[in-house]
Amino acid sequence: MSTSGEEQWLYAISSKRRIIEFNFREIARYKDLLFLFVKRDVVTKYKQTILGPLWYFIQPLFTTLIFTLIFNNIADISTGDGVPPFLFNLAGITSWNYFKECLTGTSDTFKQNQNIFGKVYFPRVIMPMSVVISNLIKFGIQLLVFIGFYIYFTMFTEKASNVSPQITLLILPVLIIIMGTLGLGFGMIISSMTTKYRDLTFLVAFGVQLLMYASAVMYPLELVKSKVAEGRIPEMTGLLIEYNPMTTVVEMFRNVTLGIGGINIQMLIYVMITSTVIFLLGLIIFNKTEKSFIDTI
């Protein structure tokens, strides 16, 4: 094995670390583990339940129903002519859910897996990656639900006269990647911070809920802009909602599928940069934490 040179070592364990240690070769070596984790998550999620995978449908459907009832039927938020509020909300919730699941699923990586992490080594980043991938499967199923209702509303009712998919549907994969990296980035940051100081765990639970209201999930961004123009919403709030990266993602998801709202290349680039920065930041903090979090958790 070690025929040449005294200093030919396989690897070294030390306290020193590089800023980003994203060892692709090592992760590739553990790809089986990644998929086994994904399989574990998917297979065991609804074990010993009667409805089983049906829960994947039930949760977004009921949320959409309630949202439609409250925001459209009671609060009279207009979703535009010829756009059924139900479809509008379902689009928002489907795209928001993927981000949310990625964020909450990865935000307790270290705490959740301290038993396993405390005993064996494997690239820790495998864990959050598996969460993002298994959520992708869930997202796929929910997308099918959306498509089902989409077909129902466009083919069998007159309500969806203005709904049509756009050619920009092609950028949907980009949107999905942005949602995933944003969720993963935030999740990694939060999971790293919570190893020592648990305060953030409490923030995540309701913070995500609050963030949803600031992400244009159940109202169009146009509405916020017009309210700002009318002076009924402080300008600051308007800007906050507009520059929240998830707002753009949700808006664009609705744009490419339903054809409502505008598409803004500048905002897309802005969001792509933001999500990359957050992802890299998450990776740096995660790398820093994984080495010795087991002593502080």
Out of 53, 118, 165, 262, which residue is the one contacting other proteins (CB under 8 A)?
A: 118
Question: Does 111 participate in binding other proteins (rule CB under 8 A)?
Answer: no
What would the two tokens of residue 276 be?
Answer: 């990359």
From the list 91-99, 174-182, 247-255, 287-295, the region that binds other proteins by CB under 8 A is: 287-295
Out of 20, 23, 29, 235, which residue is the one contacting other proteins (CB under 8 A)?
A: 29
Residue in the block written with tokens 């949760």: 59
Out of 19, 25, 74, 119, which residue is the one contacting other proteins (CB under 8 A)?
A: 119
Of 161 and 296, CB closest to other proteins: 296
From the list 118-126, 128-136, 244-252, 265-273, the region that binds other proteins by CB under 8 A is: 118-126
Binding footprint of other proteins, residue count (CB under 8 A)? 37
Out of 144, 165, 196, 235, which residue is the one contacting other proteins (CB under 8 A)?
A: 196
CA gyration radius for the chain? 22
DSSP letters for 54-89: GHHHHHHHHHHHHHIIIIIIIS-----TT--HHHHH
- Residues 5-24 interacting with other proteins (rule: CB under 8 A): 8-15, 17
| Residue 194 · residue 201 · CB < 8 Å | yes
Q: How far apart are CA 216 and CA 75, in angstroms?
A: 15
Which contacts (CB < 8 Å, 24+ apart) does range 237-244 have? 240/214, 241/214, 241/215, 241/216, 243/270, 244/211, 244/214, 244/215
Out of 24, 74, 115, 156, which residue is the one contacting other proteins (CB under 8 A)?
A: 115
- Residues 197-216 interacting with other proteins (rule: CB under 8 A): 197
Q: How many CB atoms lie within 10 A of CB 220?
A: 21
Which DSSP state fits 232? S
Residues 6+ apart with CB under 8 A from 28: none
Of 193 and 249, CB closest to other proteins: 193
Report the chain's terminal Cα–Cα distance, integer Å.
Answer: 38
Q: Which amino acid is at 56?
A: Y
Of 45 and 225, CB closest to other proteins: 45
What would the two tokens of residue 251 be?
Answer: 């808006």
Q: How many CB atoms lie within 10 A of CB 285?
A: 17
x-marked contacts with other proteins along 32-61 as a string, rule CB under 8 A: xx--xx--x--xx--xx-------------
Least distance to other proteins, CB of residue 55, Å: 15
Least distance to other proteins, CB of residue 270, Å: 31
Interface positions with other proteins (CB under 8 A): 1-2, 8-15, 17, 29-30, 32-33, 36-37, 40, 43-44, 47-48, 115-122, 196-197, 291-292, 294-296
